[in-house]
Amino acid sequence: MSLLPVAFEDRMKLTLGNEWNAFTQALQTTAPTSIRINPFKNHVAAGEQVPWSTFGVYLSERPKFTLDPVFHAGAYYVQEASSMFLEQAFRQATDLTKKLRVLDVSAAPGGKSTHILSLLNNESLLVANEVIRSRATILAENIQKWGCSNAIVTNNDPEDFTRLGGFFDVVVVDAPCSGEGLFRKDPEAMKEWSPENVDLCGKRQRRILADVWPALKQDGILIYSTCTYNRFENEETLQWLREQQDAESIELKTETGWGIDHVVENGIHGYHFYPHKVKGEGFFLSVIRKKDEAQEPNLKARKGLNTPSKKIEEELKTWTTLNDPKFFTWNETAFAISGSIYKETAFLLDHLKFVQAGTALATIKHDKLIPEHAAALAIHLNRDNFQQLEVPEDDALKYLRKEAMLAQADKKGYTLITNRGIPLGWVNALDSRMNNLYPKEWRIRMAG
């Protein structure tokens, strides 16, 4: 490992005291590998459970995830264990039995958003936002793989949410930061680190908080996190927020054996993860309740969502097991969402730049439906409506490479390809061959 930046080392020695040697020794070890299981898909992984997450599992070694078909099907997400502590913030600071509107403001590549979707009930809504368009596309891909219909992916600057006064019950700000907690896994983070960058990140974080704070309803919850250690980007940023706004810090319960440092500084409860104390990387999280008054917006959209014909709508109803499904069209694609969030969806699509909303079920061509890849991955797909073909791993990898498979369907038509019972995507079975409909931009290129 490269030498740590001198200014970083000096500060961390003051912070850690006699724990400094243990900290630097931990940075010389291999980072643990952890995944988070999708609770909506039938997948089991052997390993030690991440103590603060119902869905997190440590693996004994790092496999080639790219060559695991069900990884591409959204059966699990490869995620650093410390960041799974987000689950405790939701379980302890919110009522997950209620309908919640949640904003994940810096959501790419999708680790926290897919985790949030695993926690929310079917009536709730997640807006997963990413300001950089290319990263928003990756975010949308991972949301599709997770298979939930109660998510909207947007591509907006945080300041665009200012006008959505009082809309959200929960706002998650996983803030862009100096990345000190990533030094073990990402040598580039160490090369890019400087005191000037820390200062720049702190200012950017405060701008983001100022932009999204108005969108949080009164008594709503702000969950703030970084993958860095320093006070300026963590406690001091939240102290600044409290000086600007009427807010209170919320204490979370942690187990002694978890190894998390609970720090209380000027009324701010912060939770620090250090690699010599936890089986994970550097991480910080804090929860703030908004006490400012905030009036909820009128959800009336200026223009409603386009809807398909009655004939198409009746056919689409046979494709989904969603309770009270609602359908809308965008550029010849039919999307499905729950009726419980239809009004909110129309309102948000009227105010934000969206990448995807709900589940893209089908492309409409001359009153015929061509299934979308997202439909195959959707947890609410009515699989009984389609022919299914279970394939072994070799054929599954050929399918994911957009190659011809040995397996053949029994009859013609759109067919759902599965591996270990988990859908991977579609083929169109013809008389003598099967057209592979896997998205070409998603195909895997790694040799087996």
Mean pLDDT of 69-93: 98
pLDDT at 188: 85
pLDDT in tens, 144-178: 999 999 999 999 999 999 999 899 999 999 999 99
**CA dist., res. 332 & res. 329, Å (int):** 6
Domain 6-12+83-290, classified CATH 3.40.50.300, yes or no? no
Active-site residue list = 227
pLDDT in tens, 431-442: 888 999 999 999
Q: For a pLDDT cut of 90, what percent of the chain falls above it?
A: 88
pLDDT at 116: 98
pLDDT in tens, 273-286: 999 999 999 999 99
Which helix (H) or strand (E) segment holds residue 76: the answer is strand 76-78
CB atoms within 10 A of CB 397: 21
> Are 299-385 and 386-448 equal in CATH topology?
yes
Distance spanning both ends of the chain, measured CA to CA: 30
pLDDT band at 140 (very low <50, low <70, confident <90, very high): very high
Which helix (H) or strand (E) segment holds residue 371: the answer is strand 368-371
**Residue 407 predicted with pLDDT over 90:** no
Domain boundaries, the chain: 6-12+83-290, 299-385, 386-448
pLDDT at 432: 82
Give the tokens for residue 86.
């987000």
**Residue 421 predicted with pLDDT over 80:** yes
**CA dist., res. 220 & res. 210, Å (int):** 15
**CA dist., res. 149 & res. 147, Å (int):** 7
pLDDT at 11: 95
Q: Which residue has the tokens 């079917």?
A: 122
Please give the residue that has the higher pLDDT: either 296 or 24.
24
Type of residue at 8: F
**Residue 369 predicted with pLDDT over 70:** yes
pLDDT band at 301 (very low <50, low <70, confident <90, very high): low
Mean pLDDT of 206-235: 96
pLDDT at 429: 92
**Residue 218 predicted with pLDDT over 80:** yes
CB atoms within 10 A of CB 285: 23
**CA dist., res. 421 & res. 102, Å (int):** 31
Domain 299-385, classified CATH 1.10.10.520, yes or no? no
CA 361 to the chain's CA centroid = 21
User: Which fold, 386-448?
Assistant: Nuclear Transport Factor 2; Chain: A, (3.10.450)
The predicted model scores a pTM of: 0.96
**Residue 1 predicted with pLDDT over 60:** no
Out of 52-56, 100-104, 406-410, least confident range? 406-410
Query: Is-contact 216 168, C-beta < 8 A?
Result: yes
